[in-house]
Structure 1
Amino acid sequence: MMVYLVPASAGSGIPETKAFLNGIRIPDIQSLSTLTAKVFGTIFAVAAGLPVGKYGPMIHIGSIVAACTSRRARLIRPVDRLLEAARVFSNHSERRDLVVAGAAAGVTAAFAAPIGGLLLAWEEGSSYWSLKVTWRVFFCATGTLLFTYLLAGSRMGPAGASLVDPSYMQSYAGSFSTGIRVANEDLLLFVGMGVLGGILGAAFNALHWHMSRLRHSYVCTWPRRLMEVLGVTVVVSTVGFLASFLSESWACRPVPPAEPSLYEDAAYVVPYLDKLLPLTCAPGHYNEVASLYLNDGVSALRLLFHLPRLNLSDDKPMFSLYALALFAGPYFLFLVLAFGVSVPSGFFVPQLLLGAALGRMAGQVVVVFGHPTYLGQVRVFAIMGSAAFVGGITRMVPSMTVIMLEATGNLFFLLPFALVLLSAHWVGDLFTPSIYDMIIEIKGYPFLRPDPPKWALAQLRARDLMTPQVVSLRPIETVKRVQEVLCTTGHNMFPLLYPSSHPTRSGALFGTIMRETLVVLLQAANFSSTASVNNDPDNPELASPVLDFAQLLESAARLSSRVIAQPVIPLTPEDESKWMDLRPYSNPSVYFVTEDSSVTKVYRLFRGLGLRHLLVLNIERDVCGVIARHDLMPNSMESKLRKIKSCKNASKAHWTLPKGIQGRKEKAAGDFVKEKERGKAPMETGGRGA
């Protein structure tokens, strides 16, 4: 179902959500079918034993719910108050803020971390942020946490009272004792772990890049994608079981006594002893490797986080270096293989699990070298190892710090988490981009980074970036022309220009109209009654009937991405000769720049407002070009700059200075030459000319 019917549901969906909030429209990524496939596909993928989790898809699910809510709100029939709500949702910026809140709600439902959800939405999601968005997102995250506790974490208390179950508030990491402390000299060790986490995270991202190229070349049809999923599932299950079974000779250990009085923080240790799996070991014993491989991800993670270093039954480590190495090595390769297969899945918990195993290995090594601090605190290394590995892959610092802090519930971890994640971020960025940015680049989404390339700021202007061939319509246009434009172009916006016959404003900009609006008008046959109309834009009389606003919203909400891209609307020759009055549906408040505008201004407009296109006007205020998102990609700007430099007659001043300044300099130089010929030129000084 995931591979063949709904390919858009594959993966975690976080890069696609991030791309949408950046202003990119991706077909079917926020449809109801994708939501259904995402929910059931994640359940089946986790149950199949793949090294995947459900937390990443929760972010995508939250954004889909928000997007579907926005679209369905536009289907409301015209009741005064409800119609006003529908008008709010019809605004693209409002819908984008709603999707940001939905993504934060998904984080909150997954991690029980409302502040972390707010910060993740700010750090990885929205390109534009304001105080209003902050309040909306926080309100949504808080409401999500409340309803999650009430629905999934409640139990019946005395006298029938419904109480919140404290065990649910432990999230994936479980609760931690507040008695765990971190010494000052240990912070340097955590920074070193962050450096190693950044290196391993960069290695993981680089391997994923090469795996994605191989998948693009060899796993390009749905039968091959299906076989890849089956193959990865068989390999992971077989290797995990064989490693657990073949290690029985040395991995069977006695289960520690479940006596609370033997542990300093028994409430945080004893509940997890039941997760130790015996496999084929004798009664009262557990298999170290099987307890890591054959447990679900959350249970294995809690074992590494909470069990003490030493087993009280034999005074040996609960998990030996051999068991941890036998788990961590193959599991790293499993993550590389599974990350990118065509199943709805997240990898946050598997990354935490691998990082915890590596961190616990580091703690064991520190103890071997005689560091006295960690005789009972090896689990702190497991926690920091998780943060280091996740930070090295995702490069999220503020949000991941708060998410980990809220998950562990121990305020003393704040500084160690921050140091680990910062060092992992800095080291990882030296080698590769973050995993989400890499996926966006692999899939070719025109994603705009926070700032444009510095080399393009002083060397390019809007005229250098724009496409001069603009497909336009008239405010009152023939049906045949509208259908021809929709069928022959893929543009999402069309400028409306005054006709050439207009006495005073020939070719001037009237406004813009969206593609989906034109499709709705064609489907509704919103044409003039005759083929003879007055097509003067200044004519106060309407040339065709006006579609009701609520009906327009309802019809636009029902359009699929495929219909908008390739509309099939049969028209008779009589219909083609009729006219459509586009003035009531046009947007007169158009965002535009002049051809001398800087790259910085263009870039900020696109990123801050989530634009997909921007009109360029010349000095006469006529439309001379249009800039799309792909025109702002670094490779596109580099090729245009190279083309400008290769012009034989172009000097550096010609393509670095705005047209107006260049003209004034040329005029000043001409006046200086004339004055000099007359013997009236001013004496040169040591300063620069104007």
Structure 2
Amino acid sequence: MQVRPMTDLLRTCQQKDVAKGRRLEAAPQDLSAERRRERKAPGASPTGPKHEVSNIGAFTFHSSPERRHVRECSPEQTQSQDPNQDYDHESLTSPLLNGQHRSTNSTSQVAIVGVNLCPIESLDYEIAENDFFKQDWRTRGKIQIFQYIFMKWLLCFLIGGIVSLVGFCNNLAVENMAGVKFVITSNMMLAGRYETAFLVFSLSNLGLTLFAAIITTFIAPAAAGSGIPEVKAYLNGVDAPGIISLRTCIVKIIGSISAVSSSLLVGKAGPMVHTGSCIASLLGQGGSRRYGLTWKWLRFFKNDRDRRDLVTCGSAAGIAAAFRAPVGGVLFALEEMASCVTGYWWTSGLLWRAFFTTAVVAVILRALIDVCLSGKCGLFGKGGLIMFDVYSANISYHIADVPPVLLLGVVGGILGSLYNFLLDKVLRVYAIINEKSNTYKIFIACAISIFTSCLLFGLPWLASCQPCPFDTAEACPTIGRSGNYKKFQCPPGHYNDLASLIFNTNDDAIRNLFSRNTDSDGSFVPVIVTGASYGRFVGMLLGSHSNLNHGFYAVLGAASFLADAFNGNIYDLIMKAKGFPYLKAHAEPYMRQLTVADVVSGPLQLCHGIEKVGNVVHILKTTNHHGFPVIDEPPHSESPVLYGLILRAHLITLLKKRSFLRTPVRIGVEAFMHFSADEFAKKGLGKVDRIGDINLTHEEMEMFLDLHPFTNASPYTVVETMSLAKASTLFLEMGLRHLLVIPKTSNGTPVVGILTRHDFMAEHVLGGSSSSSHFLH
């Protein structure tokens, strides 16, 4: 039977996907020498190593025993990489220049986090059900259980309260900073000082942009961008350095205020989602260890599982604060942030807590808006946070109005798909920019600011002047204060409708598009305003032929641009461009033709149930893996058996405690007397425990550790003949970090290998990945 190379497998899979209307993007096809050796040609000597053959359609795939070689946790069998190397989040703040990659663990995957290229890890959403965990839960009384439930709701209340205050201050700062800039510019134009007005307008925008770029580049690079792709990847199980840290949160708030005020075509929704997620994570983990801000009474939430729920509520609160839409915030979290694993962990309890969080946001914002309506929030504070309040709209329609609305939706969906398609092409240059220095990144931001200022100031000169409406309560044209009717270069009694969109805050611009009594024909804010302008333009074309007002068509146009079903949404495209290993809810078609044995690779690090301290220290220093299978062998068992999986963090905790044994015996319940549950809880952001910080004597290195009480004795396992598609679904829905592969038949090896997130990525499955990269931290 002839062996087909992996490149042919990729080509065949692509042809099948095209026939089904889905084109699979080709992964790099440079296969390493080791992976090529694993696909040996048939006809080898019968006495040679046995190769397992998997049928894939009309061709075969050979799995060599080299891919499943098992290496035990011993110094003699472990290759040394870097005796002092250990993963540290805070050491990854400098960007990589011109492809000169920082020395990182070769088994990790990298992605663009903010503006930097960093190795990323996976989160532990699985509960480690070891003996110690079970004993801790058995000892919890009704008071502790009530405290746990009460703290969940209290944290949701605090998240809603803090996010609403941050959103209000964010909006208030943007409204006043941008409003003052527009008023000064308009007054200078009224005086005929057009050159001076342009300089004030462009230099103020440049200053705000430069400030936002500097603090983001040098203080918190993870705060760059909208933040929604990073948060969405986090909820999918990707742990990127610094995306929800305190420093990122502060820079995100300040930077987003400056960027939105600088007339750049950006919005506040994405930064508010990121900010809400950061606030939720910081509250749930009890603060930051780096700055000494921790609270021990939040020990119940020091795990990725509870933090994920809190981050989900925080992202919903961010949308609710940005648009004062509590239901919209919950739906956004359900559709975008948790769409891939909704069936498993989006429970009714989480749904109620998310609604409660957004309700708190809505109530507090309503109270703060009432304060602003009394004139206590500055000259421009009255209009904030009521972006989508359409007080009057004619919703009665005739059958003749249906065809234009249907056509509006179809064309809008096509234009929205075209927008995403073009954005995907533009994002391909992101990697090129990422390789440049910090100075280059700041220069790009400043160049975009100057170009945007020239367009915003110059385009209104191309628009015609419109007569002021007679039925408006607002002065027209606006002179010397904020307002929606900008005179610009028009004669008395007229206003420039395009300037009314540009020389206004973003909220006022969208209100102008959605309102009934103003006329507009421009679009200069992101996708919502683009769609709203398109819809309003259609409404203006229909004119008296339709009973629906122009504002209603603007709403429909915005919805048609956002409701795109032909290709991936913007956040998915950005995650793909940044390289996040995002697992989709549905497995790729080629995965159904592969088994887990085809992708699992070795060597595999193993530890014994009772292990020598020196062996544990050596493997922790020479590898950066975060999960190790634990096996029992004679005399502790009749035959080699898989006992479970132990995490790297738990091994470091055992070494720090120094509760060693002089003889290789099991200690049983005695372990509960020397450890507490807090010691095994996941540490907060900031400081991390490193194996290099633990100094043991020679005598201690010769002692033993009983790993049984701290090993997850019930890890998720799959048989090696399971399809990769089925394993991918299990991995995603259970929120796993490690998935053990066991042999189909007992052949002396209790475990074949470990599947991690990286093993389900196309670039690893279809080629171009090192065979030793089956561990993702």
Same-fold call, TM cutoff 0.5: yes
Match of 1:110 among 313, 322, 325: 322
Match of 1:511 among 644, 648, 663: 644
* Residue 589 (str. 1) matches residue 723 (str. 2): no
Match of 1:131 among 348, 351, 376: 348
2:580 maps to a residue whose letter is Y
Match of 1:616 among 741, 758, 771: 741
Per the alignment, residue 388 of structure 1 pairs with: 560
The question of whether the paired residues in 1 share the 8 Å contact of 2:627 and 2:738 is answered with: yes
* Residue 625 (str. 1) matches residue 759 (str. 2): no
Per the alignment, residue 362 of structure 1 pairs with: 538
Match of 1:351 among 512, 516, 527: 527
Per the alignment, residue 343 of structure 1 pairs with: none
Q: 5+ unaligned residues in a row in structure 1: which ranges?
A: 76-81, 158-165, 262-271, 310-317, 332-348, 392-420, 644-690
Q: Residues 568, 44 of structure 1: CA spacing in aligned structure 2 closer, same or farther, 3 A cutoff?
A: farther
CA displacement at 1:183 relative to structure 2: 3.2
The question of whether the paired residues in 1 share the 8 Å contact of 2:229 and 2:571 is answered with: yes
* Residue 446 (str. 1) matches residue 551 (str. 2): no
The question of whether the paired residues in 2 share the 8 Å contact of 1:533 and 1:543 is answered with: no
* Residue 502 (str. 1) matches residue 635 (str. 2): yes
Q: Secondary structure at the match of 1:495?
A: strand
* Residue 42 (str. 1) matches residue 289 (str. 2): no
Whose Rg is larger? 1
User: What does 1:525-604 align with in structure 2 at a 5 Å threshold?
Assistant: 525-528=656-659, 533-536=662-665, 538-540=666-668, 546-553=674-681, 556-557=683-684, 560=687, 563=688, 568-569=692-693, 571=695, 574=698, 575-604=700-729
| Superposed CA offset, 1:29-58 (max 9, x none) | 111111111111100101111111111211
The question of whether the paired residues in 2 share the 8 Å contact of 1:494 and 1:512 is answered with: yes
Per the alignment, residue 78 of structure 1 pairs with: none
Match of 2:458 among 222, 242, 259: 242
Q: Secondary structure at the match of 2:225?
A: coil
Q: Residues 567, 306 of structure 1: CA spacing in aligned structure 2 closer, same or farther, 3 A cutoff?
A: farther
Partners of 1:514 and 1:44 lie apart in 2 by 43
Q: Residues 259, 69 of structure 1: CA spacing in aligned structure 2 closer, same or farther, 3 A cutoff?
A: closer
1:306 maps to a residue whose letter is S
1:354 maps to a residue whose letter is T
CA displacement at 1:138 relative to structure 2: 1.7
Q: Secondary structure at the match of 2:754?
A: strand
CA displacement at 1:258 relative to structure 2: 4.7
| Superposed CA offset, 1:505-544 (max 9, x none) | 554222222223334444xx32246xx72223x3448689
CA displacement at 1:302 relative to structure 2: 1.0
Q: Secondary structure at the match of 1:557?
A: coil
| Superposed CA offset, 1:150-186 (max 9, x none) | 34544799xxxxxxxx988973122231434343332
Partners of 2:685 and 2:591 lie apart in 1 by 41
Q: How many residues were matched structurally?
A: 529
The question of whether the paired residues in 2 share the 8 Å contact of 1:461 and 1:598 is answered with: yes
Q: Which has the higher helix share?
A: 1
User: What does 1:313-332 align with in structure 2 at a 5 Å threshold?
Assistant: 318-319=519-520, 324=521, 327-328=522-523, 331=524
Task: Provide the TM-score with structure 2 as the length reference.
Answer: 0.62
Per the alignment, residue 623 of structure 2 pairs with: 489
Partners of 2:412 and 2:302 lie apart in 1 by 44
Per the alignment, residue 269 of structure 2 pairs with: 55
Q: Residues 136, 233 of structure 1: CA spacing in aligned structure 2 closer, same or farther, 3 A cutoff?
A: same
| Superposed CA offset, 1:538-579 (max 9, x none) | 3448689834222443x722554xx46x75325355254444
Q: Residues 73, 45 of structure 1: CA spacing in aligned structure 2 closer, same or farther, 3 A cutoff?
A: closer
* Residue 141 (str. 1) matches residue 358 (str. 2): yes
Identity of aligned residues (%): 31
Per the alignment, residue 295 of structure 1 pairs with: 504
Per the alignment, residue 309 of structure 2 pairs with: 97
Partners of 2:611 and 2:647 lie apart in 1 by 14
Per the alignment, residue 16 of structure 1 pairs with: 230
The question of whether the paired residues in 2 share the 8 Å contact of 1:543 and 1:580 is answered with: no
The question of whether the paired residues in 1 share the 8 Å contact of 2:588 and 2:725 is answered with: no
| Superposed CA offset, 1:561-619 (max 9, x none) | xx46x753253552544444444433223121222334354223211121122011223
| Superposed CA offset, 1:181-224 (max 9, x none) | 34333233223222222232223223322322223124523211
The question of whether the paired residues in 2 share the 8 Å contact of 1:535 and 1:543 is answered with: no
Per the alignment, residue 549 of structure 2 pairs with: 377
Partners of 1:479 and 1:154 lie apart in 2 by 64
Per the alignment, residue 252 of structure 1 pairs with: 465
Per the alignment, residue 677 of structure 1 pairs with: none
1:351 maps to a residue whose letter is V
Q: Residues 255, 299 of structure 1: CA spacing in aligned structure 2 closer, same or farther, 3 A cutoff?
A: same
**Which structure is richer in relative contact order (CA contacts within 8 A, separation 6 or more)?**
2
Question: Over aligned residues, Cα RMSD in angstroms?
Answer: 3.3
Q: Residues 516, 182 of structure 1: CA spacing in aligned structure 2 closer, same or farther, 3 A cutoff?
A: farther
Q: Secondary structure at the match of 1:622?
A: coil
The question of whether the paired residues in 2 share the 8 Å contact of 1:526 and 1:544 is answered with: no
| Superposed CA offset, 1:284-327 (max 9, x none) | 43222211222121111111211436xxxxxxxx33xxxx3xx4
Q: Secondary structure at the match of 2:605?
A: coil
Q: Residues 466, 481 of structure 1: CA spacing in aligned structure 2 closer, same or farther, 3 A cutoff?
A: same
1:223 maps to a residue whose letter is T
The question of whether the paired residues in 2 share the 8 Å contact of 1:297 and 1:353 is answered with: no
Q: Residues 243, 84 of structure 1: CA spacing in aligned structure 2 closer, same or farther, 3 A cutoff?
A: closer
User: What does 1:167-182 align with in structure 2 at a 5 Å threshold?
Assistant: 171-182=386-397
1:362 maps to a residue whose letter is V
Partners of 1:526 and 1:581 lie apart in 2 by 13
Per the alignment, residue 417 of structure 1 pairs with: none
After alignment, is 591-600 or 18-27 more displaced? 591-600
Q: Residues 273, 30 of structure 1: CA spacing in aligned structure 2 closer, same or farther, 3 A cutoff?
A: closer
After alignment, is 211-220 or 21-30 more displaced? 211-220
Partners of 2:575 and 2:581 lie apart in 1 by 8
Partners of 1:132 and 1:541 lie apart in 2 by 35
Task: Provide the TM-score with structure 1 as the length reference.
Answer: 0.70
Match of 1:304 among 486, 503, 513: 513
Per the alignment, residue 194 of structure 2 pairs with: none
Partners of 1:171 and 1:358 lie apart in 2 by 22
Q: 5+ unaligned residues in a row in structure 2: which ranges?
A: 1-214, 290-294, 375-380, 475-480, 772-777
Q: Residues 365, 291 of structure 1: CA spacing in aligned structure 2 closer, same or farther, 3 A cutoff?
A: same
Partners of 1:559 and 1:591 lie apart in 2 by 30
Partners of 2:542 and 2:229 lie apart in 1 by 38
